């Protein structure tokens, strides 16, 4: 399989944080459908009767299904539907659609900061004894934006994986 080539300017700019945030919110809406269908399939195949039954297997299955969704979309043209809507494209350092191993590495690395933030929220809740502080976990996915304040506005997982998000307006 050949790597698709893209027509990009010589040095495309990174999309703004606001556009990436909007894209992330739209992605969350689409991921609801991916998770719903994957959960339905899991429940049908395992005859699960509630969400806590086979909880860890379910989490692993959803991790794989979400990863498959992203890898498939990114490999086809460097964009998911929300990325197309917001004119954002994922490319490697040479401006090409990244290879599958690089995309898999990006997907795995994208989980590091949100999981670390979720662990910090859980630790805060345990240390303070305030169970309501666990509600702060909804902010954990936004930990990825912390890395954009250095390195040309790119996410930390993009810099580590050798990929970047570029503005791809027509």
Residue ranges of the domains in the chain? Answer: 17-167
Query: What confidence score (pLDDT) does residue 2 get?
Result: 53
Query: What confidence score (pLDDT) does residue 4 get?
Result: 53
Query: What confidence score (pLDDT) does residue 48 get?
Result: 87
Using 50 as the pLDDT threshold, list the residues of the chain that sit under it. Answer: none
Query: What confidence score (pLDDT) does residue 6 get?
Result: 52
Give tens-digit pLDDT for 112-144. Answer: 999 999 999 999 988 988 888 888 888 999 999
DSSP the chain: -PPPP----SSPPPPPHHHHHHHHHHHHHHHHHHHHHHHHHHHHHHT--STTTTHHHHHHHHHHHHHHHHHHHHHHHS--HHHHHTTEEEEETTSSPPPHHHHHHHHHHTTHHHHHHHHHHHHHHHHH--GGGGGGGGGGGGGGGGGGGSSTT--HHHHHHTEEEEE---
Q: Is the pTM of this model over 0.85?
A: yes
């Amino acid at each position: 399989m050949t790597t698709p080539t893209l027509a990009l300017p010589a040095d495309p700019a990174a999309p703004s944080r606001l556009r990436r945030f909007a894209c992330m919110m739209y992605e969350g809406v689409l991921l609801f459908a991916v998770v719903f269908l994957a959960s339905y399939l899991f429940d049908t195949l395992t005859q699960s009767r509630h969400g806590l039954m086979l909880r860890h297997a379910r989490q692993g299955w959803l991790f794989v299904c979400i990863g498959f969704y992203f890898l498939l979309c990114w490999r086809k043209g460097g964009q998911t539907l929300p990325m197309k809507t917001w004119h954002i494209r994922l490319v490697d350092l040479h401006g090409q659609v990244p290879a599958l191993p690089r995309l898999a590495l990006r997907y795995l690395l994208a989980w590091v900061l949100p999981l670390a933030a979720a662990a910090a929220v859980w630790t805060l809740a345990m240390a303070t004894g305030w169970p309501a502080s666990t509600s702060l976990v909804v902010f954990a996915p936004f930990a990825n934006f912390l890395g954009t304040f250095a390195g040309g506005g790119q996410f930390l997982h993009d810099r580590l994986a050798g990929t970047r998000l570029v503005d791809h307006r027509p």
